[in-house]
Structure 1
C-alpha cells in the first residue's frame, strides 16, 4: 500500500502513498505518489478504507473554492487510525473512524456559549503532506482520495466498526449536511410537511432526515426524473418535476394551499431560494444548504420577508456535531432505520475519480465511492 522512509532533511518519518491530486484549475486530476508524514502533536494518520466523490471536490478542481493548488482531493471518508501524535487521547490506533471537517476548538466564542456546532476555529493538521516537496492543500482539511491521510485527531470520529466504510464515510459531508439541514437546522418533527428542492446527495439526505424525524408529507422537487425516483427511496411521499410545473404552485397544492412547514434549498441558486421562500407556509422555515457561488445575489421584497414571518436560515454542515451525530446515525443505519446504503451508486478504484466526476455532472450517479 505504501512504503515508509526516513527523510534526512527534517528527520520526519514519511510514508509514500497513492493519491488523487488536482494540479491546476480545470485540469484532469492525477493519481500520484505523495508523502504523508508521521503525526505531530494532536494529529493522526488514518488508513483510508473508502471515500465518496462529492461535488465539493469538483469545485476544488475547478478553482471554485480557492487557488491554493495543488489540492489533495477527497473528504467523505472512513478508515482506521494507524498512528497518533503526542497528546492524543480520544482516538488510538485501530479505531474505526469517520473523518469530519469540524474538529471543534472548545475555546472560541461559539464553543464557550455552548454552541460547538458553530465553532469558528476548527482544527486541521499542521504538518503538510507533500508532492515532490510541494505542500498539498487537503480538501476541507482532510484529503482522503489517498491510501493514508494526515488529519487533526479531532477530525476522527469513532463509530461502530461493524459498519461498511463505503456507507459510513458518506456521513463525513453531503449526507450529514442534508440530514442536519432537516433535523438540526430546520427542526423537522412529527406531523410536519417538508419540501426539498434539489435531490442530489444533500437533498436526499434532507429527505431521509425528514423521514427519520417523522414528517407526514415530504415533497421532493427536481428537474430530473431519475433523481425524483431516487428521492422516493429515501422517504419522499410526493415528487414535483420543476421542468414541467411551477414548484411553488405544486407544493402549495399538496399542502392544502398553505405551503410547507419547512422548505430546504439543496441547490443554492437565487431562483431556487426564491422558490423555497414562497413555497413555505406563513411562519414556516426556509433552510439554505446548497452552496451558492460568489457572484450570486438575491433580491426579495423586504415586506415579504417581514410579512411571511417564520425563519430564514443557512445550514453549515447540517449544524452537526460529529461526535454526537455520526455515531447516532451509524447506529440508526445499523438498525435498518436510515438507508445510507442507497446513496452508494457505485464503488470505484482510485484511478477512476476523473470519470466519476463526469458521471456526477451528467446526473448518472448519486454517489460514487472510492474503495481501497
Structure 2
C-alpha cells in the first residue's frame, strides 16, 4: 500500500474457520468512498500488504465451526463488533470502543468471493430478503454503511416532522440517503446543496429526497457567501409556508468530503439548531465558527435557566460565599 491505489486481482486460498468463525460466500459488495481511503497510506492499524478493502457485503454462511449457522443469510459491515462493556459502549459511543473489530481493518474486507470472519462481526438478515429474489439484495448493501450513517446523522440532528434541514453534499451517496430518509421517514422538509453540475444531473425523481435544490457558490468571497446564505434563508421561509420568524434551517447535515462543504455552515442554521458533520475531508481541514456566532446559536431557554439557578440557591444546593479584602472591597 502507498499513496496511490494499487489494485490487483488474485486467487487466494480460503482460510478454514476456527471456533467462533464462519466462511461467508459473498454475493454482493457495495463500494464506499472510504474504501479508497482505507486502501492508501497505509493508515494506522491497516495491513501494509495484501490489503482487501470493502465493508458492505451480503452473502451466505457456507462453512462454520458451528454447523447450525450454515445457510444463514448474513451481512458484513464496517463496525463488526464491540465489547459492549467499556465506558464508551455503555454511553452508546460504539465507534470509540477500543476493542472494536472493523472491516476492512482487523477483519479482511468484502472485495472477494469468500470471507472467513468472526461470527460476532456478522449481521443476520431476514430470510425473507432472499425470498424476494436475488435482484433485491444488492440494494441492501447501501444500508450497511451509507444508510446507517445517514440514519445516525438524522438522529444526531434530532430531525422531526416539518423540520427544515439543509443537506450539504446532497448528490452524493450518503447525502442522497439523508435527504430520502429525512423526507420519507422523518417527514421533514429538505434543502439540498451541491455543486451545480451535480445538481443538474439529479434524476426526475429527486423530489423523493429533496424539496429545494441550490447550487453551491463557485467562489468563496464575502459577497457570494452572503448571497448563498440569503438563498438558504429564503428557501427555509418558503418551506415554512412564508410565515413566522425569518430564520435558518433547524439542522444542517454536512455530507460532502471537501473543505468547501464545511465553510460558513453556521450561516445556514437557526439559533438552537444543530450542525452534524458526516463527511470526512482529507488533509488539515478545519471547521471555523466565530465564537460570538457560536454562543448566539447555542443559547437555549435562558430565562428558564436563570430561574433554575435561583431555585438551586433557594434550596441550598448552591452556597454563595462573599469575602471582603483588607481594603473593605468585595
User: TM tier, shorter chain?
Assistant: 0.7 to 0.9
Distance 1:35 1:243, change over 3 A: farther
The runs of 5 or more residues in structure 1 that have no matched partner are 1-22, 126-136, 312-372
Task: Tell me what 1:249 maps to.
Answer: 230
Is structure 2 residue 251 aligned with structure 1 residue 262? yes
Distance 1:310 1:158, change over 3 A: farther
Distance 1:37 1:43, change over 3 A: same
SS of equivalent to 1:30 = coil
Is structure 2 residue 52 aligned with structure 1 residue 78? no
SS of equivalent to 1:31 = coil
SS of equivalent to 1:255 = helix
SS of equivalent to 1:45 = strand
Q: Which of 49, 60, 78 lines up with 1:101 in the alignment?
A: 78
Task: Tell me what 1:218 maps to.
Answer: 190
Task: Tell me what 1:46 maps to.
Answer: 24
The runs of 5 or more residues in structure 2 that have no matched partner are 130-135, 219-223, 238-245, 301-330
Report the alpha carbon displacement of residue 260 of structure 1 after superposing the two structures with TM: 0.7
TM-score by length of 2: 0.73
Report the alpha carbon displacement of residue 33 of structure 1 after superposing the two structures with TM: 1.4
Tell me how far apart the structure 1 counterparts of residues 76 and 143 of structure 2 sit (CA, whole Å): 9
Asked if the contact 2:264–2:289 (Cα under 8 Å) also holds between the matched residues in 1, the reply is no
1:262-306 per-position Cα deviation (integer Å, ceiling 9, x unaligned)? 110001444422333220111001000001324222332222211
TM-score by length of 1: 0.66
Tell me how far apart the structure 1 counterparts of residues 22 and 100 of structure 2 sit (CA, whole Å): 12
Report the alpha carbon displacement of residue 248 of structure 1 after superposing the two structures with TM: 2.5
Report the alpha carbon displacement of residue 122 of structure 1 after superposing the two structures with TM: 4.8
Q: Which of 125, 130, 141 lines up with 2:107 in the alignment?
A: 141
Is structure 2 residue 61 aligned with structure 1 residue 61? no
Tell me how far apart the structure 2 counterparts of residues 285 and 216 of structure 1 sit (CA, whole Å): 15
1:297-318 per-position Cα deviation (integer Å, ceiling 9, x unaligned)? 233222221111179xxxxxxx
Is structure 2 residue 10 aligned with structure 1 residue 29? no
Q: Size of the alignment, in residue pairs?
A: 273
Distance 1:225 1:193, change over 3 A: same
Task: Tell me what 2:141 maps to.
Answer: 169
Tell me how far apart the structure 2 counterparts of residues 270 and 36 of structure 1 sit (CA, whole Å): 41
Answer 1 or 2: which has greater strand percent: 1
Q: Which of 278, 294, 298 lines up with 1:289 in the alignment?
A: 278
1:133-187 per-position Cα deviation (integer Å, ceiling 9, x unaligned)? xxxx9357341010011222222112233432211112121232123212x2222
Structure whose CA Rg is larger = 2
